[in-house]
Each structure stands twice: as structure tokens, then as C-alpha cells.
Amino acid sequence: MQIMDDLYQNGISTILATPSGARPVWLDNKYPDVMRVDANGVRNRHGGRHNHCMSSEKYREKVRIIDRKLAETVGDHPGLIMWHVSNEFGGECFCDKCKAKFREYLRERFHNNIDELNHEWWTTFWSARYSDFEEIDPPYNNGQTAIMGLNLEWKRFTSRNYSDYLSVEIDAIREHSKNASIPITTNFMGRYYGIDYRVLAKKIDAIAWDSYPAFHNDHETYRDTMMSAAFDNAVMRGMKKDRPFLLMESAPGLVNWMPFNKLKRPGVHEQFAIQTIACGADSIQYFQMRKSRGAAEQFHGAVIDHIGTNDTRIFKEVKKTGETLRKLSEVEGSIKNNEAAIIFEWDNWWAIDGAGAFGGSTKKYDSICRDYWVKLMEFGVEADVISTEDELDRYKLIIVPMLFMLKDDIAKELTDFVEKGGTILVTYISGYVNENCLCYQGGFPGDGLKKLLGVISEEIDTLYPSDNNGIHVNYKGIDKIIEVRDYAEILRVDDAQILGRYTEDFYKDTAAITCRCHGNGKAYYQAARCSIDGLSEFIKGLLTESGIEVKDIPAGIEYHKRIGKEATYEFYLNVTSDIIELTNVEGINLMTGNRISGSINLGGREYLVLKNKL
């Protein structure tokens, strides 16, 4: 309370976190079942953090008490602007309570009908048939891990269990806070693999996440690191597209947990902060304000270092970033109105990885989605990252990479989208299984998607890195060979125009890229993984054809746009070390207040924010 008072009196608001991310020693000693059980069935000892059982009634009870006390004490504090539940949910628990809840979840999911579950999981294979829901264990490491449906439902259940736990804390705060209108969030971790964040996002008022890109690494360019961070922002923002998100944690200098904890070079933190705002955030915050003297994160970056002064490079960079953000304050509240979208789904990701198929190390679902997103950015087009549950009709172009798991009715929705004039691009490894991982029969992609696309994928070839193949694309003035990597499907073309054909192997000259007109729109199929740069002209063609403006963005410039009630805000980030000339730019430079019309030079890692009245 005293800290919040001091902050408030100095013009600083508080987002107050509940303390449930780390448990005290006495609690674990007194109530061992609050500690998590690992995938081998062994209960943890006290240690670390984030390792509680989300099903534990005792933990929930104790957390409710402390949340109630917090809410009663500071719930109406004038400095409190948001609640933050727990910290960075993650991991799984295999204890008996979680097992019992999992069985309960399965009963509900399969209508309390074990025959239905056996059918959907195809359990007769390898004698895996269950007689009763009570026989089903979680996929222990030393147990049953060979049923795709079981593995998938366990991950779905874990997400729902986190969501259920999240409700406990949210309800405690709402019930006991004198000001129930204060919004509630929790901090996500971008493309964290273990939780379908969309399940949790439904419970909170705003999306917040922790972004720690590995700047200046030895395996990608600075621009690539920035683009990956931007894609993560898009994944996070996409869960609540109608409002800005918060950057809850970032490090102004270095972190302490990467294999190489490289310093952010001068100016990089400021550009990273502007990029995050450009991507739709309304806040830039830090972990941590001051380095803790001891313990696990004593060497994790902070605004104030152990030296304790305000004249360090990092402190000065944070101060300058703060001054810059003040100049951008009118951007607050503005959103995006994107015309293109890319479908990315967690359970599809799990299903692809869980399938005993394709290549062992080349599935790379999330990075393939990112590559398409980045390619669109090169044309000045920022795409929303959506799930198949989202409204599709607001878009002109939807890219559907590797939608291996095609849920009920999605093929119909995509067909309707195209019929009304939309353009879609579906890629290889799409429509193989239903939501329970059962293969579609009668040809992939199943459930009617093959009809929309006019093709059937009959076989898929997995390529070694040393294999060579290509696609000769020859349509609409494009006449080139695009390199094929990792996967190549062999198609049967029923009713589609062939735009590209393989150049090598026994399937040479067969179809690799096709297009089918349907209603007022077009459905494209890309049967092989290609070099994303090789696809540039093809993707540019999709944008033009679907009526999305292609901007002439110089290489090395990252472009974003936010739309406010009265003005638009365009962001140009130079993600190189060289001077780049921007031409045909128009608007008020928010950094200087001056009007710019025509061209301007942007120095290495500089940026420009332009305002134009609507």
C-alpha cells in the first residue's frame, strides 16, 4: 500500500500482480499436493516457481484468500489501473487430481460414451481400446504416448485447466474488489508451445505479453529478429483485435537465461519499443526496474543496474525511450484494420508435431506461418493472425499454411469466404485429419476442401536437405523456377488451373501450384514447401488480385499502420545500419511536429512516425 501510495503521488500508476506465480516453502511442506507431478509420475520437491498443480483445491483456496486480501486492501486504490493474475503460466501436471479432471473432461468431450472415444482415437490399433473412462491415463512418458487423440486432448485439457484456474483468481478479485471495473490481464509468452492462449484470452480484458527477442544472434539478421518479434506481436494482438495490447515485460539491455546473453546495441531498445507500439501495443514495460541483489535473476537486465546510478547507458536509453513514447501519446487507443489474415492454431501445431509422419525436424509449423506473414510485410501488408473460429468475412485474402487438422465446418466456411469474393491460399499438409486426428477419407484435403481447391493430394514426398526439386511457375507474366524444400505433394487435378509444375523426379511436370475459381473468388493450392523469397511475385499477385494495396516499401524498411478515431499513424523502421531514402511520404512527423511531403532519409535503425488526419 505504501509503495502504491508513493508511486501514485509521483504520477505513476500500478498494475498489481497477484503473487501466485511462486509458492512459499511452508505451503509446500504443509500441503505437498500443491506441488506438481512430472510426466513420469514423480512429485516435485519445493523449488523454482510456476510448478504448482493447477487442479489443487488447497492451492486454489490459499490463492483465493490472498487475492481477496489484496482486493479488499488496494482494490479501490486510485493508482491501481489493472490487475495482473499470476505469472507466465506454463508446464503440465500429471498428478492424480489432474488425471481425474482429465477423465472428467474426456467424458464431457465424448458424451460419456467410451465407444465414441475409442472410435475417434482408433484405439483398436495396438490393443489400446479402453473399457471405461477411468482406465485412461494422461500420456505419461513411461506410459501411453502412441495415441494421437490422447496426446492432443491432454494438451487441450491442460489449456482448459489453466483457464479454469485463471477464473478462480479473476473471480476472487472481482468479488472482493471495491472497484470491479478495473481490467484484469495475465502475461503470455508469444508462441509458447504448451498452452492454447486463445482459450485463456477469452477470460481476460486485455492481452499482455513478455517479449525477449535474442537480438544480435549468430543465426539470423537483425531484421529477421525484428520480424520474428513483430510476428509474435501479431499472434498476441490477434487474440483481441479490437483493442491495443500491453508489452508487460521486456529487458532494456540483456537477459540472463539465454545461451548467450548479448547486450542490446545502442538504439536497439528504442527501436524495439517503437516497433512494439507500431504493432499495436499501448505500453512498454520492463522486467525489472532494479536488478535484485541476489537469487535467480540478479544478472537479468534492469532499468537500474547494481551500480545504482541514473547515468548508465541503459538508464539513459530507457529515459530517451520514455520521452519518445510521450511524443507518441496520441497513438494510444488506435487499432488496426487489416485486410489479410493468416490462420495459425495451437492445436493444429500439436497435431502436426504429434503425427507420426513427414520429417522429424522439418515440420516447423509456426515458423512457416511466420514466413508468410513476413513476406506480406515486405509489400507493406500487415496481416492479422487468426484462428478458424474468427470471423473470416472481414478479410480479402486468407493464407492457410499447413492446416493439417481441419475442424468441422471450416471447409464450408472457407468455401463461403471464396464464394463471396475472397482469395485463399492453402498449402501442402492441409486437411489431413479431423479435430480428433482421424484421417479424412476419400482424398486430402478432406471435408469438402478438395472440392473448393479442385485438387486431391495423393502422396507426399519428404525431401532430404540434399534433395533438389523445383516448381516451374508460368502464368500471368511470371516465368521462373522456385526452389522446393522439405515437402512435395503429388496432386490429382480434378478441376483447377495448373500454374506451376515440378521440375524433377518421377513427378516431374505434374501440378504443384493450382488455382480454382469459385463464386466470386479464387482458391489457390501450393502443394510443396518453397523458398519464401521464391514465392514473392506469386504472393504479390495474390495481394493485387484480392484488391489489397501493395506498397512500395524499400528493402530494410519495416512498415506498420495504426488507425485512430481521427487520424492514421504510419510507422517506418529502418532495420538496417544504412541510410535508406523513403519517397512519397506525407504527413506530420510526430517526433518533430513538422509536415513531411516527398522524400526523407532514415539513418540506420532510425524510425519515422507519420500522422495523417482521417
Cβ neighbours of 327 (radius 10 Å): 14
Pick out residues in 69-108 that bind Zn ion (CB under 5 A): 93, 95, 97-98
Cβ neighbours of 198 (radius 10 Å): 19
* Active-site residue flag, 88: yes
Specify the residue, 55 or 334, whose C-beta has the smaller distance to Zn ion. 55
Q: Decide: 136 and 102 in contact? Cβ < 8 Å.
A: yes
- Name the strand (E) or helix (H) holding 117: helix 114-121
- For residue 449, which phi and psi values (nearest 5 degrees)? -70, -30
55 near Zn ion, rule: CB under 5 A: yes
Q: Please identify, among the stretches 48-56, 153-161, 431-439, 504-512, the one whose residues bind Zn ion according to the rule CB under 5 A.
A: 48-56
Q: Decide: 518 and 418 in contact? Cβ < 8 Å.
A: yes
Convert residues 121-140 into a mask of x (bound to Zn ion by CB under 5 A) and - (unbound).
--------------------
Specify the residue, 27 or 478, whose C-beta has the smaller distance to Zn ion. 27
The residue behind cell 509536415 is 595
Q: Please identify, among the stretches 47-55, 161-169, 294-302, 448-456, the one whose residues bind Zn ion according to the rule CB under 5 A.
A: 47-55
* Smallest gap from residue 139 Cβ to Zn ion (A): 14
SS3 assignment, position 167: helix
Closest CA to 106 of 79, 137, 74: 137
Specify the residue, 46 or 97, whose C-beta has the smaller distance to Zn ion. 97
Convert residues 508-527 into a mask of x (bound to Zn ion by CB under 5 A) and - (unbound).
--------------------
Specify the residue, 36 or 64, whose C-beta has the smaller distance to Zn ion. 36
SS3 assignment, position 369: helix
**Residue 596: alpha-carbon gap to chain centroid:** 35
Q: Decide: 233 and 211 in contact? Cβ < 8 Å.
A: yes
* Smallest gap from residue 54 Cβ to Zn ion (A): 7
* Smallest gap from residue 162 Cβ to Zn ion (A): 12
Cα distance between residue 512 and residue 473, in whole Å: 9
Specify the residue, 95 or 200, whose C-beta has the smaller distance to Zn ion. 95
8-state DSSP, 43 = B
* Active-site residue flag, 378: no
Specify the residue, 92 or 345, whose C-beta has the smaller distance to Zn ion. 92
User: For residue 555, what are the contacts with CB-CB under 8 A and spacing of at least 6?
Assistant: 378
182 near Zn ion, rule: CB under 5 A: no
* Smallest gap from residue 105 Cβ to Zn ion (A): 13
Length of the chain measured in residues: 614
The DSSP line for 407-420 is -TTHHHHHHHHHHT
Quote the strand ranges of 193-293, DSSP E.
208-210, 245-249, 281-284
- For residue 250, which phi and psi values (nearest 5 degrees)? -155, 165
- For residue 461, which phi and psi values (nearest 5 degrees)? -100, 130
Specify the residue, 95 or 268, whose C-beta has the smaller distance to Zn ion. 95
Cα distance between residue 133 and residue 114, in whole Å: 6
* Smallest gap from residue 195 Cβ to Zn ion (A): 15
8-state DSSP, 506 = T
- For residue 288, which phi and psi values (nearest 5 degrees)? -135, 165
Specify the residue, 63 or 496, whose C-beta has the smaller distance to Zn ion. 63
227 near Zn ion, rule: CB under 5 A: no
Q: Please identify, among the stretches 51-59, 67-75, 101-109, 301-309, the one whose residues bind Zn ion according to the rule CB under 5 A.
A: 51-59
Cβ neighbours of 221 (radius 10 Å): 12
Q: What is the total count of residues that contact Zn ion (CB under 5 A)?
A: 6
Instruction: Compute, in degrees rounded to 10, the torsion defined by CA atoms 500, 504, 510, 512.
Output: -40
- Amino acid (1-letter code) at residue 372: Y
Which three cell numbers, joined as nine digits, stand for 189?
509468452
First to last CA, the chain: 44
Specify the residue, 53 or 246, whose C-beta has the smaller distance to Zn ion. 53
The 3-class SS string of 280-347 reads CEEEECCCCCECCCCCCCCCCCCCECCCCCCCCHHHHHHHHHHHHHHHCHHHCCCECCCCEEEECCHH
53 near Zn ion, rule: CB under 5 A: yes
- Name the strand (E) or helix (H) holding 530: strand 528-530
Q: Please identify, among the stretches 52-60, 300-308, 438-446, 482-490, the one whose residues bind Zn ion according to the rule CB under 5 A.
A: 52-60
Cα distance between residue 82 and residue 85, in whole Å: 10
* Smallest gap from residue 141 Cβ to Zn ion (A): 16
Q: Which of 92, 153, 169, 249 is catalytic?
A: 249
* Smallest gap from residue 160 Cβ to Zn ion (A): 13
Cα distance between residue 613 and residue 1, in whole Å: 43
User: Which residues are paired to 385 by β-bridges?
Assistant: 342
* Smallest gap from residue 159 Cβ to Zn ion (A): 14
471 near Zn ion, rule: CB under 5 A: no
Specify the residue, 50 or 97, whose C-beta has the smaller distance to Zn ion. 97
Q: Which of 88, 120, 413, 483 is catalytic?
A: 88
Angle, alpha carbons 298-300-306 (nearest 5°) = 55
Hey, which residues are catalytic here?
88, 249
Residues that bind Zn ion (CB under 5 A): 53, 55, 93, 95, 97-98
